Structure 1
């Protein structure tokens, strides 16, 4: 396995047509519609990442930045490995490539992700995966008004001495702000 990362700052429909099967299979619930993802890239608030293994697409992610310019954090909105490639360590490798890109290109202070909080085997597996990548799960469980699932924030501190001074609510303010920007109509 020689996984490589390519990051796209603009929408590429041909690329999306390749990524879409991974995205739709992994995110049956809670997936943003294609037109929203496209608008996010068009407005410059998100990045589309593709993971390649010798020219074969095996992973995808949608990320964005949050916080003030001097202390930006990376929000991982979506990250998935192609179903037939899971369980082989490629998720951790792909995440490492995303982390390194964000540190090098944006000098981030932390990486934030939300994971479903309901106590199911599948959700526990996701949280264990992120913890193996170095993330710390917070205690706060967030209830969005527009979806029934509850979520827990996880954070990977990058900057030395970065401390979360609450139970994760401040992380959800950043996540929520990112989601709100995602759904704003672009100004013509």
Structure 2
């Protein structure tokens, strides 16, 4: 299975136009608007990742860094595989490419993400995917004031000595810090 990988640290409208249909398909509600995503890259707080099969967009992700050097973590804000390509192992491959890039370029300690915590079939399938990728779900369930569904943090420790210090609340502080930076006016 071959998936070429690219990471953008500056906005490229042509690349975004290729990745945008995957983003909109996977996140039809509650996704960050394009100007916010563009601002994340313009302000150097986020990255846009693309996975391509034979020059055709197959996967996309939006990530951001939090923490100081030596304690830096990568927030996996959004990740999606094109719907017609799911179930072929591309999700794990793409995640591994993001992980390898983040360790190599930013020496991250862990990857953190949030997943919907409501107990239903779709969310359970997502949780199982993340577990198969090595993520550890936390007990703490967070409810945002601006979205109706609750979320659970998951963490993928990458460096020896990385430890979670609580039930997941501190991970949400990292996630929230990225969200606040993304929506902050310049």
TM-score category (smaller protein): over 0.9
Gaps of 5+ in 2: none
CA displacement 1:20-78 (0-9 Å, x = unmatched): 11000000122000010011111110000000112111000000001112210000000
Q: Partners in 1 of 2:42 and 2:185 — Cα distance?
A: 11
**1:1-12 alignment runs, 5 A limit:** 1-12=1-12
Matched residue SS, 2:94: helix
Corresponding position of 2:74: 74
Gaps of 5+ in 1: none
1:99 aligned onto 2:114: no
TM-score scaled by structure 1?
Answer: 0.97
* 1:161 Cα deviation after fit: 2.2
Number of equivalences? 186
Q: Partners in 1 of 2:161 and 2:185 — Cα distance?
A: 37
* 1:157 Cα deviation after fit: 0.4
Q: Partners in 2 of 1:96 and 1:61 — Cα distance?
A: 12
**1:76-155 alignment runs, 5 A limit:** 76-155=76-155
TM-score scaled by structure 2?
Answer: 0.98
The question of whether the paired residues in 2 share the 8 Å contact of 1:112 and 1:156 is answered with: yes
Which 4+ residue blocks in structure 1 deviate beyond 2 angstroms?
A: none
Say what the alpha-carbon RMSD is for the aligned residues.
Answer: 0.7
Q: Partners in 2 of 1:12 and 1:123 — Cα distance?
A: 32
Corresponding position of 2:183: 183
Corresponding position of 1:58: 58
Q: Partners in 2 of 1:69 and 1:91 — Cα distance?
A: 28
